[in-house]
Amino acid sequence: MARPAYDEFCRQREEFFAREQGRGLGANLVLSPSEQRLNQYVMHLKQQELAKGVENPYELVSARHFFEMLDRINESPLFRLIQKMPKGGVLHAHDTAIGSTELIVRATRHAHLWQSGSIPQTAADPMPVYTFSRAKPTAEGEWRLVADIRSTMGDAAYEAAIRKMFTLYTTDPLNEHRDINDVWRKFMALFICFEPMVTYRPVWEEYYYGCLEELLADNVTYLEFRGLLPPVYDLDDRKYTPEEIVQMYVDQSEKFLRANPKFAGVKFIYAPLKFCDDSTFDGYLTLVQTLKARFPTFIAGFDLVGQEDLGRPHTDFNERLLRLPAGINFFFHAGETNWTGRRDENLIDAILLGTKRIGHGFAAIKHPVVLEEIKKRNICIELNPISNQVLKLVQDFRNHPGGFYFSDNYPVVVSSDDPSFWCASPLSHDFFVAFMGLASARADLRLLKQLALNSIEYSSMEDEEKTIATQKWTAAWNEYVEEMLKTIPAEF
């Protein structure tokens, strides 16, 4: 085959490039003149940041661990611009890890909180145990009122210790969290430690409402969150039922929506642990049906959570899951692994079970038929890039499979999973990392806009709710663009 003339080669290259760029996420969006001007500034900031990494790869924020670059990210003009951006909804987050550690600090100020054991000084030290009680707990341990510990340590010192304890953040993450099992043990220990603190009813309601406030402050206006529904209690030794706990969520959500009409809504995915015996699993299925019947518009569906590599495979549950009524939707975690030919095969089960979305989908890139079915069935992949790095699936964000999903317009959203544990905002940090690390250097404002729109499209809202949510988001987006244009340099 004869080589083309150089002019023809250039024409072919331009055509080739246009075809490839035209397949990317957001490529079909047409920006208004105002958006185009803002886009020029966004891309100026992005290229400035990327240029630092070309000259000195150690300075590239997307190539290093999030903990190492957190301060740099927080100081970035592009990050601040993304913070102010209306980002739509969070579709993948877990109940007691959405809110910042400040909400946990606030919980320690409540009366009647007891602590057994000391706040760890090293990674090898055991975590303390907490509970709320009018009288000194009778359980084994040397119990002290947190109010007394605060008096001894000083409020500032105690609260600083709490902030440090309830996060995986470290200045040396690559060595302190040596492998996936190690970091997952520490991760689960955080949930176990503060669960008796946040499941005290006054804190439970205060914490959840605070989560909604923090989401809105981060310019997120919709939430679908997963939860285990752990037992909630009060000082009278009352243990609340799962139905009563969901009612608390509903009541606090409605209270928040009345006070904040810009917020589009909240829905809940019942997501218990996959580390269970068959009898416990059967109880899960009974409960989700009860909850769906009682709260049909609040309960979005069902999922199973926990470290995928060590959890029971979907094949243990498929037969019974198929018996659930069609009105109960699935939103399965699947492919949250680096393995091929092991637990990653949960992706196949999730698709055949009819999952509406896939949590993480990190391993889907290794399964060509899975990828075909994701597009064919329009199954949304919930990307959580910072979570995937902290929990040891990827080190350099440029190697995250989300980059491939972006490049070929797969149905995706970006979410935050458990942002509290990595000192991240409810969504802005994940948006920044996705834009700077997963996405092409050429990906622009259209990608960010499409991600926000996708979070509405792939939500569990009914069509009428989606229409209203889109209208609210569009108004906020247009206002945001005009406000940003007032602040950018005149040359843009």
Q: DSSP E strands: which ranges in 53-104?
A: 89-90
Q: Tokens representing 128?
A: 């303390």
336 is catalytic: yes
Where does the pLDDT of residue 122 fall: very low under 50, low under 70, confident under 90, or very high at 90 and above? confident
Q: Report pLDDT for 317.
A: 97
CA–CA distance, 129 with 142 (Å, rounded to integer): 10
Beta bridge partners of 299: 268
Name the strands in the sheet holding 265-270, side by side, starting at the edge strand that comes first in the sequence. 89-90, 222-227, 265-270, 299-302, 329-330
User: Which one of the listed residues 360, 367, 400, 429 is annotated catalytic?
Assistant: 360
Could you give phi then psi for residue 382, rounded to 5 degrees? -90, 100
Per-residue pLDDT at 241 exceeds 90: yes
Reply yes or no on whether 360 is catalytic.
Answer: yes
pLDDT digits (tens, 9 = 90+) for 161-177: 999 999 999 999 988 89
Helices (H), 260-384: 278-294, 318-321, 346-352, 368-377
Which residues make Cβ contacts (< 8 Å) with residue 162, sequence separation at least 6?
101, 104, 105, 108, 119
Largest CA distance in the chain: 89
pLDDT beyond 90 at 103? yes
Average pLDDT on 166-194 reads 91
Q: Tell me what pLDDT residue 121 has.
A: 87
Q: What is the mean pLDDT of the chain?
A: 97
What is the tens place of the pLDDT at every residue in 383-393?
999 999 999 99
Q: Which of 35, 308, 336, 382 is catalytic?
A: 336
Taking 3-state DSSP, the helix, strand and coil percentages for the chain, each rounded to the nearest 5, stand at: 55, 10, 35
Q: How does pLDDT run across 285-326, given as a tens digit for each residue?
A: 999 999 999 999 999 999 999 999 998 999 999 999 999 999
Q: Which residue from 167, 379, 359, 336 is spatially nearest to 271, judged by alpha carbons? A: 359
pLDDT band at 492 (very low <50, low <70, confident <90, very high): confident
Residue 335 has pLDDT above 80, yes or no: yes
Residue 65 has pLDDT above 80, yes or no: yes
Domains and CATH numbers, the chain: 81-101+185-477 (3.20.20.140), 111-166 (no CATH)
Residue 140: per-residue pLDDT: 85
* Residues paired with residue 93 on neighbouring β-strands, in sequence order: 417
Name the pairing type of β-strands 299-302 and 265-270.
Answer: parallel
d(C-alpha 202, C-alpha 31), whole Å? 46
Containing 381, the helix (H) or strand (E) segment is: strand 380-383
Q: Is the Cβ–Cβ distance between 107 and 197 less than 8 Å?
A: yes
Q: pLDDT by residue (tens digit) across 125-171?
A: 899 999 999 999 988 889 999 999 999 999 999 999 999 999 999 99
Is 90 exceeded by the pLDDT of residue 490? no
CB 162 within 8 Å of CB 150: no
